Amino acid sequence: MRALVSGNAAYKKVRLINVDWDTYRSSAVVSELKIPRRSTLVMFRGGNELERIIAGTSKSKISQLFEAAIAPE
């Protein structure tokens, strides 16, 4: 994901928060966001969930999440 962000200046506007699954799997944030496993990417805008990818590594799918996050409202 870092390569994707570094390759598109507009994606740098998206704030990324990394939650280590091994450390925080029992935490409130994981429970509240219903994160089922490692490698879960959840994209929000304005406090609303746009979409999520679970165990996906497709650059095009991840790029679609970033595009949704930076698209004009």
**pLDDT digits over 25-45, tens only?**
999 999 999 999 999 999 999
pLDDT at 25: 94
pLDDT at 73: 78
Q: What is the pTM of this model?
A: 0.83
Q: Which parts of the chain register pLDDT below 50?
A: none
Long-range contacts of 37-44 (CB under 8 A, 24+ apart): 41/1, 41/65, 43/14, 43/68, 43/69, 44/69
